[in-house]
Amino acid sequence: MFETKLGIDEIIGKRHSRFLTYPSSEAKSEAETRVQQLKEIGISSLLFNGSTSIDGIQVLGKGCVGIVIQGFLGNIPVAVKIRRLDADRASLLEEARLLRLANSVNVGPELITATQNFLVMQLFKGLPLFKWAQHAPKIKNTKKVLKQLLTDCFKLDAIGLDHGELSHAPRNVLVNSSNTACIVDFESASSSRRATNVTSLIQYFLFGELARVLNRKLYHDRRTILRSLSLYKQDGSVGNFESILQLLHV
């Protein structure tokens, strides 16, 4: 896959600069301001690669709030989320607060630094969960990933942080070549509404498109699992969570 690496001072004047002010390609003054901001937080270059293509240029991800591009903090590869000009918020600092909260229980990519317009995070390279599942992983690997994800979801539930997007998790969970998963993109997260991460993720595995890809081969008694989920909703205890893991045979 074609990729382009540009030093931070090389971007202005190239078509890649539009991602500094996406979706606008004409906000040159703002792009120049953002280049200076990137330099101030130590970003030396950006590498345009990844599975998402926008006008023939590859990036790591595209969402309603930001564009994610690989960058370099000195020589260290990182993920850089750039706030879109048409985002529904004026700052990424609240998302940074919620990601730090997730990091406090070892969930999500590690947040390195944050400003109004940028999040700099640990770079986690992997396939979106749905694409990973399409490669027909072995049952033991599928169970490993499911158990890790559910454990991470339980940790988030325990601290009252709801991710908000896990009932349709194809873009918000990445799985790498070692069958290790990472929950990403906390832009829709909240610490004020009820946390339903475990139930949302299981609904995706049981009833979502992922279930059809996996041929439902993991599940032996869905009704019993749903009853167990109902108990977990009433009381998110360790015991009720472990009962779910046992029913899923993970």
Sign, CA dihedral 133-137-139-141, equals: negative
Residue 75, pLDDT > 80, answer yes
pLDDT, position 177? 93
Q: In this structure, which CATH number among 3.30.70, 2.30.29, 3.30.200, 1.10.10 belongs to the domain 4-122?
A: 3.30.200
Point out the least confidently predicted range of 97-106, 134-143, 187-196.
Answer: 134-143
CA–CA distance, 46 with 155 (Å, rounded to integer)? 33
Residue range 79-95, pLDDT digits in tens: 999 999 999 999 999 99
Peptide bond into 23 cis (omega under 30): yes
Tell me: the pLDDT tens digits for 129-141?
A: 988 988 878 888 9
Count of H helices and E strands in the chain?
Answer: 8, 12
Residue 215 has pLDDT above 70, yes or no: no
- Residue 200, pLDDT above cutoff 80: yes
pLDDT band at 167 (very low <50, low <70, confident <90, very high): confident
Tell me what the pLDDT averaged over the chain comes to.
92
Could you state, in order of their start, the residue ranges of all structural domains in the chain? 4-122, 127-248
What's the mean pLDDT in 208-225? 74
Q: Which distant-in-sequence residues (6+ apart) come within 8 Å of 43 by Cβ?
A: 8, 71, 72, 73, 78, 80, 120
pTM here is 0.93
Alpha helices in 180-237 (DSSP H): 197-207, 209-213, 222-234
User: Which pLDDT value is given to residue 207?
Assistant: 77
**4-122 and 127-248 in the same fold:** no
Q: Which residues, in sequence order, are CB contacts of 186 under 8 Å at separation 6+?
A: 95, 98, 99, 102, 108, 163
Contact between residue 181 and residue 172 where contact means Cβ atoms under 8 Å apart: no
The answer on pLDDT for 244 being more than 90 is: yes
- CATH number at 127-248: 1.10.510
Q: What is the DSSP letter of 125?
A: -
Return the closest-CA partner of residue 54 out of 83, 22, 9: 22
